[in-house]
Structure 1
Amino acid sequence: MSGRQAARRVRILRAASEIGAREGLASVQMHDVAKEAGVAIATLYRYFPSKPYLFLAVLEWHIEQFLGGHDGGPVPDEVTDSVAEVAETLIALSGKLLDSPLLASAVALSSFTEYASAVPTQIDIVERVLGQRLLRLLGSCAYAETERSRVRLLVYSWWGLFVAMLTEEISTEQGEADLRLAARLIAAQ
C-alpha cells in the first residue's frame, strides 16, 4: 500500500470512528463516511466492501493505535510480571474502547457479523496485532501451538468480558477482576 493509500485508509477509519461514536452503527451510512473522509463512495467500497467489514477494521485500527503501532510497540526487556502486564493491557484496552459506548457497540456488532460470515481459516486472532502483543508480553515469540492456544484463549476471554461490560451484563469492576483471573489461569506457565 502506498503512502497515499495508507493515508486515505486512515481518513476513512477516522471518519467511520467519528460518525460511529456520534450516531451508532445503525445510523452510519457509507455515503456519509465517504463524504467525511473526502473520498468517492466507490473508493470507500474498494477499501471496505461492507459496513461490518469497515467497523471490524475500525476495531483493529483502534487496537493498533492503543498498542502504539502495528507491531505492538516496544515491550520492556524485563517485564517483572508478564501475566499482570497482559491483564492490565487488556483492562486498559477495554477501558479505552468503552470510553465511546456507541462506537464500542458498533465494532462489537460488526465483528459478530463479519466473523460469522468469514471462512474460519481467514481469521487467525494470534496473527492480529493484539495477539502478537500478547505473545511478546508473555515472552513467547516462538510459534509453538501451545503458546498460540494460550493467546487465543486470552483474546477470546477478553472479548467475551468486553462484550459483557459493554452490555452491562457485568460491571466494569467485575470485568477487570475476571480479566485478571483469566490472565492468571491461562497465561501462567
Structure 2
Amino acid sequence: MPRIAEGRPAAKPSSTEQKDRHRRILRAAAHLGAEHGFDHVQMNDVAKEANVAIATLYRYFPSKVHLFTSVMRWRVGAYELEETPTVDDPAGGVADLLIRMSREMSRTPKLALAMIQGNSLSYAMGSRDSALDDERFTRIVQHAAGIAEATPDTARQIRLIVSCWFGTLVSLLNGRFSMGQAEDDIRAACALLLRPLEPDSR
C-alpha cells in the first residue's frame, strides 16, 4: 500500500514561478493518471512530463498519495463559487452539480479512480488533505443548494449526500451502473436527503 511520507510536510508555492511549476505537475499527473491509473504512474514520469526536477516534485508532493489527492482537490476547486447563488430547488441544484461532476469524471475513468484511490488512502491514513472531506467541497455542495450558512442539520444532510454520491460514483466508474442509473440515484438521494428535517420528537 502506498504510504504518505512522514515528517516531510508539503511545501506551498508562493511565487509566480513556483505556482506555474505546481500547476504543471498537477496537469502532468492528471494526464498520466488518465492513461495509466494510480498504480502505474511513476513519480519520475510525472516530473519528466512537467519538466521539473524530481526533488521539486517531492517538495510539493511528498508521495503519490499526496499528488493524486491534490489533483482531486484541484479538479473539485473548479466548481467553487465566490458567492452563494439564489436557488429555487436545493435538491435539484445539488443533483445537477453532482451529475455534472460525475459525467466529467466518467470521461477519464482511470484518472477518476486514481484520484479516488489517493483520496481514500489519504483519509484512511489520517491526513487532513482528503479532498472530499474538506471545507471547500462542503462549501461547493452547500452553495449548489443555495445555503449561505449551514446549520448542524443541513451540514449532516450534505455529509450524507456526499457519501451517497461517492458510492454511486465508484459504482459508475467500475461499470456497475450506467450513467442513467447513476443520475437517477443521485437525484433520488438529493430529493430524499434535502427534505426539511422533521423536529426531533423524542
TM over 0.5: yes
1:181 aligns with 2:188: yes
One-letter amino acid matched to 1:160: G
Equivalent residue of 1:27, what SS?
Answer: coil
RMSD: 2.0
Once the two structures are TM-superposed, the CA of residue 188 in structure 1 deviates from its matched residue by 2.4
Partner of residue 130, structure 1: 137
Distance (whole Å) between structure 2 residues aligned to residue 122 and residue 108 of structure 1: 13
Q: Tell which structure's C-alpha radius of gyration is larger.
A: 2
Could you tell me whether the CA contact under 8 Å between 2:65 and 2:122 is conserved in 1?
yes
Partner of residue 103, structure 2: 95
- TM-score scaled to structure 2, two decimals? 0.82
Once the two structures are TM-superposed, the CA of residue 183 in structure 1 deviates from its matched residue by 0.5
Distance (whole Å) between structure 2 residues aligned to residue 24 and residue 124 of structure 1: 18
> Which one of the candidate residues 48, 53, 56 is aligned to 1:43?
56
1:106 aligns with 2:114: yes
- TM-score scaled to structure 1, two decimals? 0.87
Structure having the higher helix fraction is: 1
Equivalent residue of 2:186, what SS?
Answer: helix
Distance (whole Å) between structure 2 residues aligned to residue 40 and residue 122 of structure 1: 24
Contiguous gaps of at least 5 residues in structure 2: 1-13, 197-202
Render the CA deviation track for 1:115-161: whole Å, top value 9, x for unaligned.
11115x76585644331111122232224222221221121111111
Render the CA deviation track for 1:11-66: whole Å, top value 9, x for unaligned.
1100000011112222211011011112111111111111122111111111122x
Quick one: structure 1 residues 118 and 126, their matched pair in 2 at CA, closer, same or farther if it must change by over 3 Å? closer
Could you tell me whether the CA contact under 8 Å between 1:126 and 1:132 is conserved in 2?
no
One-letter amino acid matched to 1:172: M
Matches within 5 A, 1:31-180: 31-65=44-78, 67=79, 71-73=80-82, 75-76=84-85, 78-119=86-127, 125=132, 127-180=134-187
One-letter amino acid matched to 2:124: A
One-letter amino acid matched to 1:72: L
Quick one: structure 1 residues 58 and 158, their matched pair in 2 at CA, closer, same or farther if it must change by over 3 Å? same
One-letter amino acid matched to 1:89: L
Number of residue equivalences = 183
Partner of residue 21, structure 1: 34
Equivalent residue of 2:146, what SS?
Answer: coil
